Chain A
């Protein structure tokens, strides 16, 4: 016996009180009656929402910079980091006159996350060197069709009109971690990436 919690089962004759059942039934009914006055556990969902943790990992967002240009440079680190292989992207070269759209010279012309595969681990966010992808406290809505769960850039990229606030996610610890790309975790991770690329 490790925990001292196990209880020896004894099959014994019931006493007269127990055989009468009624005392047990009354005590049970008293318990249920008490519950009438107890606090209800229900969250009335659309009006009332459960408080989210500031670091909750929900639906992704592709950030834009202050000028409204996409930060993503289609390096593919997020896709490689993704343990569920949920991220697909096609890189493209920025043309002249598109500087206001894309910050770097290379950008992702297609960027798709399969929300059915995604496990919301946040490794893409950790891997991103450009601070482009973040997980937010939004919930991925349900749907009847599988193809509707493949989120393209239309759903992922934020707009200037509707910016998605991710400041809550940038706790001091996260900022410290992001600053130091020589961090042990990132080191091993980068090694892995280099190996993967060299294999191809």
Chain B
């Protein structure tokens, strides 16, 4: 097969999987919130309510589309598109499993192995805020505008701490490519052992970047009606909600790749030898493990959402600038010291 064709197939498969996961993440969110509050959750559509996402999707599409009379029409439409686009773009550099050999052709389960993968993720994530800002501003509604402004200041503040947390990781791994980071963790320890503080800072920032509770101030329904998507209805609202869940999925995948060994699992080569698995079979098991880890982190995102109340705005800023930023800087410093002490620099 042509390499380009393979890439196109991988892109389409990834696209479909991402959308499916996001679709069922909405369902899982409702189920998780239900079981944590001693309820049952959606259980009417299909067996165990498994068709609920379809019902929600049909509802979203069939609902009337409203564009406020005084809204900026084009930007109002472009806003959710940018949000969904940037959310979908991030998955391109994540390695989803080990290489698969068909004949003499090696297929990597990754859309693009960029040697600046981390920077790519960072760039796309920093674009994500435009979807929210444009949509919030174009709605011509004060609540939306406040939501948009909150989103932008929150994203910028937490991007800094996030970037500094990643810098410590890059110092220890010595590469910006996600694939190499994952491969390194196959040989040695998972990065969580080496960078526990970096992981903590990163995951807190990931919560803030994806606008998830306890940092969901941009949509904060108790204060701002619906935040930046107050005026949105129908599938445009669906795009925003979808973007949030896709972001959650991708950031879980990125967390797994950065700190939890990606698609690797403990004693995988011993297991493969013991059972006499071919490398293709091992790759498939690795992909299953990858998705298992990712789903655990999606669950973790939801678990936190249904446990911790929302931060107040000044608390959010204090945490970002006065706690996480110094901690991240200290983490870089300590990492450098330890590496110097071990003679790695």
Contacts and interface: CB of A to CB of B under 8 A. Distances in A.
> Do the two chains touch directly in the complex (Cβ atoms below 8 Å apart)?
yes
A31 B36 CA distance: 9
Contact of B39 (A25, A31, A41): A41
A39 B37 CA distance: 10
Interface in B34-52: 35-40, 43
A32 B36 contact: yes
Nearest to A36: B35
B38 A33 contact: no
A35 B40 contact: no
Contacts of A36: 35-36
Nearest to A20: B323
A40 B35 CA distance: 8
A29 interface: yes
A35 B32 CA distance: 11
Contacts of B303: 29, 32-33
Of A28, A32, A38, A41, most buried by chain B (CB within 10 Å of CB) is A32
A44 interface: yes
Interface string B304-322: 1011100000000000000
A168 to B, nearest CB: 30
Nearest to B214: A25
Contacts of A40: 35, 38-40
Interface residues of B, number: 12
Given A35-B35, A36-B35, A28 B40 contact: no
B38 A25 contact: no
B317 to A, nearest CB: 15
A42 interface: yes
B40 A29 contact: no
B308 A25 contact: yes
B36 to A, nearest CB: 5
Contact of A42 (B40, B304, B306): B40
A55 B306 CA distance: 40
B38 A28 contact: no
B308 A38 contact: no
Contact of A32 (B39, B40, B307): B307
B77 to A, nearest CB: 36
B28 to A, nearest CB: 13
Interface string A1-36: 000000000000000000000000100110111011
Nearest to A38: B38
Interface in A27-70: 28-29, 31-33, 35-36, 38-42, 44
A33 B36 CA distance: 7
A70 to B, nearest CB: 42
Nearest to B304: A29
Of B36, B40, B43, B303, most buried by chain A (CB within 10 Å of CB) is B36
Nearest to A33: B303
Nearest to A41: B38
Nearest to A22: B200
Interface in B289-345: 303-304, 306-308
A42 B37 CA distance: 10
A50 to B, nearest CB: 15
Nearest to B323: A21
Of B35, B40, B303, B307, most buried by chain A (CB within 10 Å of CB) is B307
A33 to B, nearest CB: 7
A39 B307 contact: no
A33 B304 CA distance: 10
A118 to B, nearest CB: 32
A38 to B, nearest CB: 5
Contacts of B308: 25, 28-29
B40 A44 contact: yes
A78 B304 CA distance: 57
A190 B48 CA distance: 58
Contacts of B306: 32
A44 B303 CA distance: 25
A57 B39 CA distance: 28
Contacts of A41: 38-39
B46 to A, nearest CB: 15
Contacts of B307: 25, 28-29, 31-32
Given A25-B307, A31-B307, A36-B36, 7 more contacts: A28-B307, A28-B308, A32-B306, A33-B36, A35-B36, A40-B38, A41-B38
Interface of A: 25, 28-29, 31-33, 35-36, 38-42, 44
Interface of B: 35-40, 43, 303-304, 306-308
12 contacts: A28-B307, A28-B308, A29-B307, A29-B308, A32-B303, A32-B307, A33-B303, A35-B37, A35-B38, A40-B35, A40-B39, A42-B40
Shortest 3 CB-CB distances between A and B: which pairs? A32-B307, A42-B40, A32-B36
